[in-house]
Amino acid sequence: MNTKTEPFDRKSIFVNPRLISNGVKKLLGFLKERARGILYAGTFVSLADYTQSYKLSSLYNSNQDLPTYLNTIFKIAISAGAILAVLRLGYAGYIYMGTDLWGNKEKAKEMIREVFLGIFLLLGVYVILYQINPNILNLKIALTPIPAVAAPGVSVAGPGVSDLDRLDENTARGMLAAAGVQVNHPMCQRVGDTNCTNVGGLSFQAIQKIVALASRCGCGVIRITGGTEYWLHSANTLHRPGGSSVDFSKAYNPDFNRFITNNSLPPIASPNGNRYDMSGVGTFLDETIDGNAPHWHVTF
């Protein structure tokens, strides 16, 4: 006797109560309600008052950077995959329990195997990436900053001029002014500027020694005429950001000149002028260069 196997009709399962147990009906009703709730939540979440929810408000936080945004998308994708896996597993179980046909049961088993295979692959990728570098899972992008290099016509303010041990222009001028030390010109805005003087970029120790020198002298206001504006000096100059050399005017305060000569060791002749060494302070070069006003070149 030939028997004809009817093809699997999913609609017949829904309309034929003999093929569905009460437990399966309850499971389908539960999944239907949960799916409807998820769809409604996804539709109206943008209209909801999310200010009382930390998780929702963090999604709307516009201050997040790109790695944080990508990490959030990654977590949402993982969560969506897990939800779909559960739904597909439930659907496969429904097919397996709702039919007596051997072919459909095999299809249901294949779905279940695929779901578990996908879950195992996902967990395997997670474990492997975590073992290589946990930051990969957080999508943290570490970029090594490239230090700025000053060029002609480019502003000298930036990381290429100062670091943790150097002072910016305003801070350095403020400390010097409080100690009675003037700067003869305003600060240079760009490399190549003239008629300007920079003290920004001097080390904190150099500024401290200038302040101590002014206090020890007690001879009134002294004036700086050269700082870190290296392009206004010779090629081998010690005037540079991070350096500890400055120029002081000789004509501005004669008492300052006498203080140096009276409190230093006997002068030592050099091609650029007499050099005076003051213990605990530094060296004072009575520099005489053609085209420059008489000044003290001091290295602390």
138-167 pLDDT tens trace:
655 554 445 444 444 444 444 344 444 567
- Give the model confidence (pLDDT) of 21-78 as tens digits: 555 556 666 666 766 665 555 444 444 444 555 555 555 555 556 667 777 777 787 7
- Taking the C-alpha atoms of residue 99 and residue 24, their distance in angstroms, rounded to an integer, is 12
Helix (H) or strand (E) holding 95: helix 66-98
| Share of residues in the chain with pLDDT > 70 (%) | 66
100's CB contacts (< 8 A; 6+ apart) are 19
Q: Amino acid identity of 197?
A: T
Query: Which tens digits make up the pLDDT trace of 1-21?
Result: 454 545 545 444 444 444 445
Mean pLDDT of 277-290: 88
Strand partners, 283: 277, 299
Q: What is the pLDDT of residues 230-253, one digit of tens each?
A: 998 887 888 888 888 999 999 899
Give the pLDDT confidence score for residue 247 in this predicted structure. 94
Ramachandran assignment for 177, one of left (phi > 0), alpha (psi -120 to 50 degrees), beta (any other): alpha
Per-residue confidence band for 227, with pLDDT thresholds at 50, 70 and 90: very high
Query: How is residue 71 written in tokens?
Result: 């990490």
How does pLDDT run across 110-146, given as a tens digit for each residue? 888 888 888 888 788 778 877 776 666 665 555 444 5
Looking at residue 36, what is its pLDDT?
63
Question: Bigger pLDDT: 187 or 7?
Answer: 187
In the chain the beta strands, taken as DSSP E runs, fall at 181-183, 222-226, 245-249, 275-278, 282-287, 295-299
Which residues have a Cβ under 8 Å from the Cβ of 243 and sit 6 or more positions away? 201, 202, 203, 206, 228
